[in-house]
Amino acid sequence: MPADASGDLSGYREPPARGTRACEHGIPRRSRERATTLIVVAVHMPLPALLSHALVAFTIEFDNEFEQQMPHRTTRGPAAGSRRGPWLVSMAMWTNFMRFIEPDGTPKRDVDALARITNLPGLQRWSYVELEEDPATEADGAVRRARTLHRDAMVRPTSGGLYAQRIWQQLSGVIEQRWNARFGADCVAELRASLRSVIDQLDVALPDYLPVVGVERTDPSTWLAAGRVQTGRFEPDLPALLSKVLLAFTIDFARDSRLSLQICANALRVLDEEGTRVRDLPLRSGVSREAVDVSLGFLARHGCVVIESDSSAARARVARLTPKGHAAQLKSRNLIEVTERQWVERFDGAERLRIAIEGLLSRRDALADGLRPYPDGWRAHPPYASLTEALMSDPVMTLPHYPMVLHRGGFPDGS
């Protein structure tokens, strides 16, 4: 049932949970044999992939609950064509922007840095905010588009935006309580402490969630500007801690890479010189078909991939690494390994952080429970149902190795 006007979320319907033992009590007996294999897989995953798995899993659970509580419209599921509320968006839009907008409005100049890492035009279009120009500026006859982008404009939440804010502000705590119950409070506390230990050694301020990015390599100065605006405003919650550490790793990786980490960790990682059917890439990479298409287009333009017709199946396409793409793949793998080794030398607690995340991800059943959508949720319906089923069946092998937070709504798998 939706929250009432006061934001009371006491009517939550909890998805059924299976494993509830603390980490130190081991893996549930019925999944122990398979989970042992998953632990081995996790041990050999690079640190940014482990961080991404935990962050994306938390975000999907957060987003599923928001979808359930918030009257909305979208193109998928029962809400397709609905006029009941704003367009459905993901956690990034709340954490990096909407929570900084006051009920009476916030000057755009105060959130310009945040607008650059989210999608302010989208939030306008999706009915979360409206921009109200200063009357003196509006009287100058400037065209509407110029007025809406003026620094003196006030960003005000719509009635739907206010309703969304009341729901969003409680959800992170609700999801973390569920994680405490499923993974064990000691396990989550250890993850928190190990993340905090690394963050306390950073010399930069970073945003509380991954920014909206394209596949192009991004100048981290944009992230740092947004981080300075956010600093001290809110105590970082678990997804914020995960995001900050992942962004710090991303900045170090970017210093020596011409390709973005999201391209290297997802699309480039799962391709080879023999060729892979494009329709298989969402399940192999963990990101949506739309994100795969954007990534392949970028790699093709830069000579790393060729996309050909599949002679064995009508209308099927095959993506194949070129020699340049294969070299880029090897370089990115090596650079991730080198960066992680440097982190172990640079940060006290980097190895402790890896162990903490591996302990959490080894709880396959607990991880899968949080990825289960409500029956009327968009992730339970085509074309995303197959990816959702794979996530619940084998989350460690299916979750993306880096969030693909695109402008389409900020969903962490590019949906």
The confidence score (pLDDT) of residue 383 equals 85
The confidence score (pLDDT) of residue 134 equals 61
**Residues 221, 275: one domain?**
no
List Cβ neighbours of 161 (8 Å cut-off, separation of 6 or more). Answer: 86, 98, 101, 123, 127, 128, 129
pLDDT digits (tens, 9 = 90+) for 120-175: 999 999 999 999 876 555 545 454 544 445 677 999 999 999 999 999 999 999 99
| Residue 394 included in any domain | yes
Q: Which of 149, 337, 174, 321 is nearest to 257 (CA)?
A: 337
| Residue 115 included in any domain | yes
Alpha-helix residue ranges (DSSP H) falling in 44-117:
47-69, 91-95, 108-115
C-alpha 100/C-alpha 165 separation (Å) is: 10
| Residue 16 included in any domain | no
What angle in degrees, to the nearest 10, is found between the helix axes of 159-183 and 238-254?
A: 90
Q: Could you list the pLDDT tens digit for every one of the 415 residues in the chain?
A: 333 333 333 333 344 443 333 343 332 333 334 444 444 444 479 999 999 999 999 999 999 999 999 998 877 666 666 667 899 999 999 999 999 999 999 999 999 999 999 999 999 999 999 998 765 555 454 545 444 456 779 999 999 999 999 999 999 999 999 999 999 999 999 999 999 999 999 989 999 999 998 777 778 889 999 999 999 899 999 999 999 999 999 999 999 999 999 999 999 999 999 999 999 999 999 999 999 999 999 999 999 999 998 777 777 899 999 999 999 999 999 999 999 999 999 999 999 999 999 999 999 999 999 999 999 899 998 888 898 999 899 999 999 999 999 998 999 999 8
In single-letter form, the type of residue at position 312 comes to: S
Pairing of strands 106-107, 154-157: antiparallel
**Residues 179, 325: one domain?**
no
**Residues 179, 62: one domain?**
yes
**Residues 155, 276: one domain?**
no
User: Residues in the chain, how many?
Assistant: 415
Q: Structural domain tally of the chain?
A: 2
Residue with tokens 């042992």: 36
The token pair at 112 is 């310009």
**Residues 119, 177: one domain?**
yes
The token pair at 407 is 């402008």
**Residues 244, 268: one domain?**
no
pTM of the full predicted structure? 0.86
| Residue 413 included in any domain | no
Its domain, for residue 253, covers 23-257+340-398
Q: What CATH code is carried by the domain that includes residue 298? A: 1.10.10.10
Which residues make beta-bridge pairs with 306? 320
C-alpha 61/C-alpha 141 separation (Å) is: 46
| Residue 414 included in any domain | no
The confidence score (pLDDT) of residue 217 equals 73
| Residue 12 included in any domain | no
In single-letter form, the type of residue at position 395 comes to: P
The confidence score (pLDDT) of residue 25 equals 31
**Residues 55, 170: one domain?**
yes
**Residues 65, 148: one domain?**
yes
The confidence score (pLDDT) of residue 3 equals 37
Q: How many CA atoms within 13 Å lie on the side-chain side of 225? A: 14
Q: Which of 136, 96, 137 is nearest to 120 (CA)?
A: 96
| Residue 406 included in any domain | no
* Beta carbons of 184 and 167 less than 8 angstroms apart: no
| Residue 11 included in any domain | no
**Residues 328, 354: one domain?**
no
C-alpha 161/C-alpha 308 separation (Å) is: 45
What angle in degrees, to the nearest 10, is found between the helix axes of 159-183 and 47-69?
A: 130
In single-letter form, the type of residue at position 177 comes to: Q
